[in-house]
Amino acid sequence: MIPRYSRPQMTSIWEPANKFRIWFEIEAHAADKLAELGVIPAESAKLVWEKGDKPYTQDRIDRIDAVEAEVKHDVIAFLTELAEQVGEEARFVHQGMTSSDVLDTCFNVQLAQATDILLEDMDKLLAALKKRAYETKDVPCMGRSHGIHAEPVTFGLKLATFYAEFKRNRDRLVAARDEIATCAISGAVGTFANIDPSVEEHVAAKLGLKPEPVSTQVIPRDRHAAYFAALGVIASSIEHLATEIRHLQRTEVREVEEFFSKGQKGSSAMPHKRNPVLTENLTGLARLVRSMAIPAMENVALWHERDISHSSVERNIGPDATVTLDFALMRLTNVVENLVVYPERMDEILNQMGGLVFSQRVLLTLTQYGVSREDSYRIVQRNAMKVWNREGDLLSLLKTDEDVTNRIPMDKLEALFDLGYHTKHVDTIFARVFAD
């Protein structure tokens, strides 16, 4: 990803220095176990650590790149440079292993490292949503279906809904990390013909992974498909919340607004503009992350025990998906933390449609006073349509409708237009959502 949408703690995971460090640890831990099994000399395994355990400086990286330019093989280039560091004993490195043992295990380590950062991001977002939800728990606002006024909710309830959604996403991310954190040190076509399975178990334990039950020559790509699909779902939830904020910031609504800092400018042409640029940006970034789930799924169908059609895909989507999602989650957290809420405007909008939001309660009350549901609907709707046509407010019109007043006493009718009726169970919902 471009620096504009990147954070250094995430991009560093995908830099060559970290990748080669992981490759070295895979090889060195494998050598330790091979020495323990008597396959290679113990002194040779020790020398791999003593001489090869050095930072991957730019000079070392440049040397690997130079060798790769000649041999056209990244793992061979890495092993060549490592041999230059270790010396003659390097002949015992990579015993019985194949390139995919290094590449796939490293990729999963990197994905696990990236996921740990994403989980921290999720925790910060959840904390922000919870804080703002409780702050606005009792702030009534309009609930909408199809974009049209429906019945009252509270703004805190809206945020609680998103909290619950991102809590589910966090659980999905934990599951995705668990599924992706596997290790394969099984050799060519995955039969362990030239390396003992205990080497894989040893390396897995050292790297915080689990042995892959069966890896052919690669770790099965359905794991990666599920991982990137989980990232795509999280991205969709980011867009869900961003879209809600964008709609609520429209000039005709303006119930909430992204924080507009001093000195910020909204338009090069119109000085009055205060645009929802952050949530619009998040909508775009969500599309990027989501788009990477499809090639991950297409990577599942490899030829026989292995081909490398997945490799070029993963070299792109691994960094891009995690770096983009990390940035998006932190940006969304900032939006939520600093979101400006306008309760007075919410109250204005609640009263904008002349009491239409109470239509269902009137309908239900008529049925309780002996009117069929069909007739109740017809009676309320004909009055509601007059409100839409600006012929009065719903309560006043109902008071002049004998089909209503002959059934519902006047004091009972007026009591139906009580906002608190619609918010009386908010505490119950909050107790469910924030039970943790």
Please say whether the beta carbons of 107 and 28 come within 8 A. no
Write out the DSSP string of 85-108. HH-GGGGGTTTT--HHHHHHHHHH
- pLDDT tens profile 157-167: 999 999 999 99
Mean pLDDT of 405-427: 96
- pLDDT tens profile 312-370: 999 999 999 999 999 999 999 999 999 999 999 999 999 999 999 999 999 999 999 99
What six digits make up the tokens of 385? 């349509």
Q: Residue 76 burial (CB < 10 Å; 0-12/13-18/19+)? A: middle
Please say whether the beta carbons of 296 and 223 come within 8 A. no
- Per-residue pLDDT band for 264 (boundaries 50, 70, 90) equals confident
pTM over 0.85: yes
Q: Would the pLDDT of 1 be above 80?
A: no
Instruction: Verify whether residue 29 is a known catalytic residue.
Output: no
From the candidates 12, 267, 309, 372, give the one annotated as an active-site residue. 267
Q: Would the pLDDT of 265 be above 90?
A: no
- pLDDT tens profile 23-71: 999 999 999 999 999 999 999 999 999 999 999 999 999 999 999 999 9
pLDDT of residue 334: 97
- Non-local CB neighbours of 93 within 8 Å, separated by 6+ positions: 27, 31, 48, 79, 82, 83, 86
From the candidates 145, 146, 268, 272, give the one annotated as an active-site residue. 146
Please say whether the beta carbons of 83 and 64 come within 8 A. no
Identify the weakest region by mean pLDDT among 261-265, 277-281, 367-371. Answer: 261-265
Can you list the positions of beta strands (E) in 240-399? Answer: 256-257, 340-341
Instruction: Verify whether residue 44 is a known catalytic residue.
Output: no
Of the two residues 265 and 174, the one the predictor is more confident about is 174
pLDDT of residue 267: 77
- Strand 182-183 relative to strand 210-211: parallel, antiparallel, unpaired? parallel
**Measured CA distances, 87 to 78, 90, 186, 367 (Å):** 14, 6, 26, 90
- pLDDT tens profile 157-194: 999 999 999 999 999 999 999 999 999 999 999 999 99
**Measured CA distances, 13 to 6, 124, 150, 377 (Å):** 12, 20, 47, 61
d(Cα 232, Cα 219) in Å, to the nearest integer? 21
